[in-house]
Every structure is written in structure tokens, then in C-alpha cells.
Copies of this chain bind each other. A is one copy, B any other.
Amino acid sequence: MLIDSRVASGLRDLTPSLAKPRERILDRFRQTFRGFGFQPIETPHIERKDVLTGKGAGSEEVLRQIFDVVNTGGTLGELALRFDHTVPLARFVSAHVNEIGLPFKRFAIGSVFRGERPAKGRFREFTQCDFDIVGSESIVADAEIVLVIHQALSFAEVPRATIWLNHRGLLEALLDVIGAADRGPAVLRALDKLTKAGRDVVLSELTNPEKGAGLAEIQALKVLEFVEQGKGGLGVLDRAEAVLGDRESARAALSQLRTVRLLLDESGVSEDAVQFDLGLARGLDYYTGIVMETTVNGWEKFGSISSGGRYDNLAGLFSARRIPGVGASIGLDRLIALLDEMGQLQKAAAHTGVLVGQFPGVPLEFPFRIASRLRGRGVQAECYPDPIPIGKQMAYGASRGYRFGLILGPDELDQGVFHLRDLTNRQETKGLSLAEVDEIVVRVLSEDPQGDAAAKAALKSRS
């Protein structure tokens, strides 16, 4: 009996049409992270369950979604699959702090797992790209994290992204102003729903004494007024200052946000690309300073594709040593889904390389050698394995994204000439020598405006 070949519920296979652009984007993320001196680390997909379920490690919802891992052949203790990269980072830093030293800048890219109810665009395994600067309280680190998000998304050709900044200290000061300083966590949880659930839901949650923050209506309205007027450029910070006065938490927060903006100016990041949103809450309790989210202009409803913030005690579950830090995460699957919906995903797939055709009567070693020779010049090249009709071979080449097909039949072999077909427009140049083939292929591919810059540079340097 045959076994069902479908993937398990809530999971998915990635065929090359998605896996190729993912790889290109991840390559560019890695290059960006490295450019700032972030170093890769890897932690196992499987963690001890007590690590993942420690106090504050994840919300109740996330803990319900944990996948346990069991090996029936042995007793390995209670294990589970990681649900993010932050808890493993905290454990990692505690375990290896003497080896790695502080400050420590790391990135981690890999799958995390949550047993969510399957829904469109929601999967139980997804890829997070995290980068953190651990062991420094300097605002330089905060600014650098924002700059990394900006550069990584730009380099990955994500169009028109806006990074939104807020600071926990501003809400703290606001609650002090309205006399509700002890309601911070509940207010944050309510505000976190503003974009998705709307004003009425948030107002009702802010005032609900049992399930919500229990504010008086007038307090709740002040909170809403504060955040609703709080989206935009530096003027937002001036307006906040007018409301919050010279409370210490507000002064420090505003100074930090202004310094970040100044440092980004120095790096050529436009005002539009990084703005302020005083309603930005980030549900998670462990943030203590700047918090950030990222949306694509015109696609705000899609939600954030990268978020993060500053925390003052990363590894409190594992160590008495207080280790502050700041970091962010790019949700690769959400980003890819968004680019796909925007029609941006396929655009960038340049045609490249050469498919070398195979003819009956032409000894195998000829096409094989020619493909090797092209690869030696930095050109992707593949020798079609079977001598099927040449039109079918060329159709395969076009479907695989090759730019050129190289045709060498028995007659051409006698004369020592080749036909080169451009698979994007079916134009054929006949009677070329091998040196002429090399020259045309390298020139066209290295000048292709859609081609990958690094690949083109390598092509030029090898030829």
C-alpha cells in the first residue's frame, strides 16, 4: 500500500520557486549581519523542556504550543523544540559567557516551532533571523540594531519599509501623569491590539477592571489620545515631551530616541525610513527600553516583519549576572509571504548560466567538458543528462532559469563550431568557436542588470 506523500498538517515543503528567493534573501541578511561584526552561533533545535518553560521565557499561549520531543528508545529527560531564538540565546550566553566575552554580537538563523492552529500563511515551523548585541547598555547598540534592520531589508530589496520606534519609558511616564503607574503590563497588552482589533476593543480592555487594565474612562482616553497623536517624525517626540514634562523616565527615553535618530541621520537613513509610534507596545514583558517594529508602506495591515527592543536582564533565568542587551528578529516567512503578495518575489530571479545540450552521436565527454570549462569561469553550467530531442532540452533549460542553451550536434562537432541560443528570446548565434562562446556568455551575464552583484563581480574577476 502506498503512503500518503503530503506533508504533515500545518507544515509545508518549499519547492525551488520559494526556496531560491529565500536563499538569496538569507545570503544578503548574513552578509549584512557580518558587515556589522555580528557572528553566527547555532543552538540545537531541541532544548531541555525546563529551559523553554522557565518563568517569563514565553507567554502562556506560546507554552501551550510547545512540541515535546520523545525518544522511545531511551530516556533522555524532558525535551522540546525551541519556539524562538531568544530563550536559547539566554541559555547560550549564560553557558558560554567566559568563552565568548562581552559585548557579544551574534546572529542566529533557523527554524522555530509552535503548534499553532493552521491558518493561511501560518505554519507550525517557521524561520526567524535574530541578531542581538549582548552586554552593552550603550545607545550605539540600539542605533546599530535599527540600522541593521534597515540595511538588511534594503539589501534584500524589500521596498519602502518603515521602522517604528517607541520607548517603554514614555508609557511609564504617561501612566505616572494619569495616576496609573501600576497598570503598565495590562495597558501594554491592551495597546498591542490597537492595529488589529481597533480603538473600541482597546478602550474596553483599558477600562475593564477584571480582564483589562481597570483604568477610569478619562484615563483610558488620555492614553488613547497620547498614542493616536504619536505617529511620525521627530515632532512626535516634542509633543510627547509637552505631555510628559520633565519626569526622569521620559527625559531619558526621549534623549535615547533622539540620539538614535541622530546616529541614523549620520548613516544616511532617511527620515521616512525610521519613525516614531508612541502606541507601539510589543506585548512581551522583558523589554525595558527602546522597542521597534517594521512595516512595509501601504501594507501595514500585513503586520510587522521585524521587531525587537532593549532588555536589561537577558539571562535572569540562568544566571545571577545581569546582562543587558538589544536585539531584533526578522520573520523570514512573513517577509517572503508579503513579497509574494506584492509581486516582488519573482521579479528578481535573473536568468543565468548555460545549459549544454546533448546529441546522439556526440561523445558524452564533449558536453561534459564544456560545462566544466564554463563553471571554471564562474558560469553556472549543466550538461543535460539524456540525448532527448534538443527542443525539449532547451525547454528544460528555460524552465530552470538558464539564460543560454549551447548546441553541439555531430556536424558541428566535425566543424568545431557551436550554436548559442538565448533562452529568454530564442535568438540563436551560429557557428561560434568555444572562445567566442565564453566571451559572449561572460559578457552578457556580467552585464545583466538583473544579475546578482556579487556573482557578477566574481564572474568579472575570473574571466
Contact = CB atoms under 8 A, between A and B. Distances in A.
Contacts of A364: 139-140, 259, 262-263
A66 B320 CA distance: 37
B372 A3 contact: no
A35 interface: yes
A95 B7 contact: yes
Contacts of A461: 453, 457, 460
A381 interface: yes
Contacts of A37: 353, 355, 380-382, 400, 402
Contacts of A64: 72-73
A47 to B, nearest CB: 6
Interface string A340-378: 000000000000010100100000110011001001000
Given A140-B368, A372-B147, A385-B103, A5 B319 contact: yes
A369 B140 CA distance: 11
Contact of A140 (B42, B70, B358): B358
B67 A13 contact: no
B259 A11 contact: no
Interface in A39-69: 39-48, 50-51, 54, 64-69
A31 to B, nearest CB: 9
A70 B73 contact: no
A106 interface: yes
Given A37-B381, A76-B115, A47 B8 contact: yes
A132 to B, nearest CB: 13
Contact of A319 (B2, B7, B43, B133): B2
Interface stretch (A14-22, A214-222, A282-290): A14-22
Contacts of A385: 103, 133, 136, 138, 140-141, 144
A124 B71 CA distance: 11
A291 interface: no
A170 to B, nearest CB: 21
A8 to B, nearest CB: 5
Given A70-B68, A460-B461, A138 B386 contact: yes
Interface of A: 2-17, 19-20, 22-23, 30, 34-37, 39-48, 50-51, 54, 64-74, 76-77, 79, 81, 91-92, 94-96, 99-101, 103, 105-106, 111, 113, 115, 117, 124-125, 133, 136-141, 143-144, 147, 151, 259, 262-263, 265-268, 315, 317-320, 353, 355, 358, 364-365, 368-369, 372, 375, 380-383, 385-386, 396, 399-400, 402, 453-454, 457-458, 460-461
Given A65-B71, A141-B385, 12 more contacts: A2-B319, A3-B51, A13-B95, A23-B30, A46-B67, A66-B72, A68-B72, A74-B117, A140-B386, A144-B383, A266-B365, A453-B458
The 3 A-B residue pairs with the shortest CB-CB distance in the complex, in nearest-first order: A37-B382, A71-B115, A138-B385
